[in-house]
Amino acid sequence: MRSLRTTWALLVALALVLAACGGDGGTTTTAGGAAPEDSAPADTAAEETTPATEAPDDGGEAEADGDLVIGVSWNNYNEERWARWDEPAIRAAIEEAGGTYISTDAGSSAEQQLADVENLISQGADAIIILAQDGTAILPAVESALSQGIPVVAYDRLIENPGALYVTFDNVGVGRLMAEVIYEMVPTGNYVIIKGNQADANADFLREGFEQVIGEAVANGDITIVGETYTDNWDPALAQTEMEQYLTQANNEVDAVLSQNDGMASGVVAALEAQGLAGQVPVSGQDADLAALNRVALGTQAVSVWKDARELGRAAGEAAVALAQGTPLEEIPGTVIFDSPGGNQMVSILLEPVAITRDNLNLVVEAEWITVDQLCQGVQPGTVEVCG
Ligand code: BGC
């Protein structure tokens, strides 16, 4: 049963690609996964397949709302966003639909997360949302769930199985937004690039976004990358050590830092502070962590890309419920096709990120993401409009 449905999902994904290729570019908003030239061959595969036009009968798998159990496998809660924003939004969407939320925390262990998914299955989960520690290591668990008829949502981070629904932000776009702000401030000079966890596809998506902005300036020598590294587990303490080392190697001659999230930016700024450079060297981040927004107000961080995780959580929770009720992937509202680096056409929901700088901090206040008090701690009067 499940393998039939998986096959069906693949056929439908191909049909969507075929439709997009013949139309005016329904995939254009999804361009994150690959450079445009890499995303072309989709029609080759589609040519060989004649997709059916109707969804197959689900064989009565749909359940009454009240019976639904949705399991969420978290890799950890290290960043503020997961417990503060994502989890409550997912839970609310599930409970509003009459379902039950259950969850596991893998404590940053890819092995544990494999066991966790099996555990959620044995607890009766009708759909599973996974925030993957390692997008490759998790594949057998995803395959196992799908083969048992349990839909999977790849949450925020790509899992290369086109049977899963991929719900995320435009991560290449996040990288581009960070780099645009930093590049405008520092069009020439020495850059350090602090990337996130290598097993998380987002680290490379963000890097791709950087490249789109600074690639040319690096090629022509205007920008020199004096240090670049992945950071295990997006660990802020490790990012601080990395930054300290790059500062030492470069004799403190670092003009800008592209840090891929706010947690690591906190480590970077601490390293700069120790050298009296905080506020002079622009630093990027993402997630709109409360402390990071305060740093933006204080001027020690130039930008935090805000991804409203409340919306992401809601979208994933609602989609998981619909999938558990038997809705086919491509009938989930708002989906587009994302051409993944692994050559999969993922049915995806891709939300838009927003760059937050000193000039538009009002947005996060108006959205009730942060209070003026939290945002403006220690800020000199008259320096940031929203702080007074
Ligand atoms: C997410 C970021 C987060 C990072 C560390 C990434 O996959 O997109 O928002 O900061 O993981 O949790």
* 241 and 368 belong to one structural domain: yes
Confidence of residue 112 (pLDDT cuts 50, 70, 90): very high
Least confident of 28-37, 88-97, 116-125: 28-37
Atom of ligand 1 nearest to the CA of 76: 12
* In-domain check, residue 365: yes
Cα–Cα nearest to 68, from 321, 328, 318 = 321
Overall average pLDDT of the 276-305 stretch: 98
> What is the distance between the alpha carbons of residues 260 and 239, in angstroms, rounded to a whole number?
10
* In-domain check, residue 80: yes
- 266 Cβ inside 6 Å of ligand 1: no
* 237 and 382 belong to one structural domain: yes
More confident residue, 59 or 159: 159
Distance between Cα 305 and ligand 1 center (Å): 11
Contact 375, 386 (CB under 8 A): yes
* In-domain check, residue 47: no
* 263 and 130 belong to one structural domain: no
- 234 Cβ inside 6 Å of ligand 1: yes
Among 170, 202, 206, 259, say which to mutate for ligand 1: greatest number of ligand atoms within 8 Å of CB.
202
> What is the distance between the alpha carbons of residues 170 and 350, in angstroms, rounded to a whole number?
6
Overall average pLDDT of the 234-260 stretch: 98
Q: Is 228 helix (H, G, I), strand (E, B) or coil?
A: strand
User: What is the predicted pLDDT for the residue at 26?
Assistant: 30
* 115 and 16 belong to one structural domain: yes
* In-domain check, residue 35: no
Overall average pLDDT of the 55-78 stretch: 69
More confident residue, 317 or 55: 317
User: What is the predicted pLDDT for the residue at 39?
Assistant: 35
* 179 and 273 belong to one structural domain: yes
Q: Which two tokens stand for residue 231?
A: 């950071």
* In-domain check, residue 40: no
- Above 80 in pLDDT, residue 294? yes
> What is the distance between the alpha carbons of residues 230 and 259, in angstroms, rounded to a whole number?
10
* 216 and 274 belong to one structural domain: yes
> What is the distance between the alpha carbons of residues 169 and 155, in angstroms, rounded to a whole number?
10
Distance between Cα 26 and ligand 1 center (Å): 27
Please name the amino acid found at residue 329: L
* 336 and 361 belong to one structural domain: no
* 225 and 126 belong to one structural domain: no
- Assign residue 219 a region: left if phi > 0, alpha if psi is -120 to 50, beta otherwise? alpha
* 334 and 360 belong to one structural domain: no
User: What is the predicted pLDDT for the residue at 216?
Assistant: 98
User: What is the predicted pLDDT for the residue at 22?
Assistant: 33
User: What is the predicted pLDDT for the residue at 67?
Assistant: 86
* In-domain check, residue 266: yes
- Above 70 in pLDDT, residue 299? yes
User: What is the predicted pLDDT for the residue at 286?
Assistant: 98
User: What is the predicted pLDDT for the residue at 36?
Assistant: 33
- 85 Cβ inside 6 Å of ligand 1: no
Q: Residue 209: give the domain boundaries.
A: 171-307+354-387
- Above 90 in pLDDT, residue 224? yes
User: What is the predicted pLDDT for the residue at 86?
Assistant: 98
Confidence of residue 66 (pLDDT cuts 50, 70, 90): low
Query: 377-384: long-range contacts at Cβ-Cβ below 8 A with a sequence spacing of 24 or more?
Result: 377/294, 378/294, 378/298, 379/294, 379/297, 379/298, 383/299, 384/297, 384/358
The predicted-structure confidence for 330-387, as pLDDT tens digits, reads as follows 999 999 999 999 999 999 999 999 999 999 999 999 999 999 999 999 999 999 999 9
Contact 153, 323 (CB under 8 A): yes
Confidence of residue 203 (pLDDT cuts 50, 70, 90): very high
Q: Total domain count for the chain?
A: 2
Q: Which two tokens stand for residue 330?
A: 């491509």
The predicted-structure confidence for 35-51, as pLDDT tens digits, reads as follows 333 333 333 333 333 33
* 182 and 203 belong to one structural domain: yes
Residue having the nearest C-alpha atom to atom 9 of ligand 1: 287
- Above 60 in pLDDT, residue 84? yes
* 137 and 80 belong to one structural domain: yes
* 326 and 274 belong to one structural domain: no
- Above 80 in pLDDT, residue 57? no
CATH of the domain at 189: 3.40.50.2300
Overall average pLDDT of the 188-192 stretch: 98
Q: What is the pTM of this model?
A: 0.85
What is the rounded average pLDDT for all residues in the chain?
A: 87
* In-domain check, residue 37: no
Distance between Cα 195 and ligand 1 center (Å): 11
Radius of gyration for the alpha carbons in the chain, expressed in angstroms and rounded: 22
* In-domain check, residue 30: no
Confidence of residue 226 (pLDDT cuts 50, 70, 90): very high
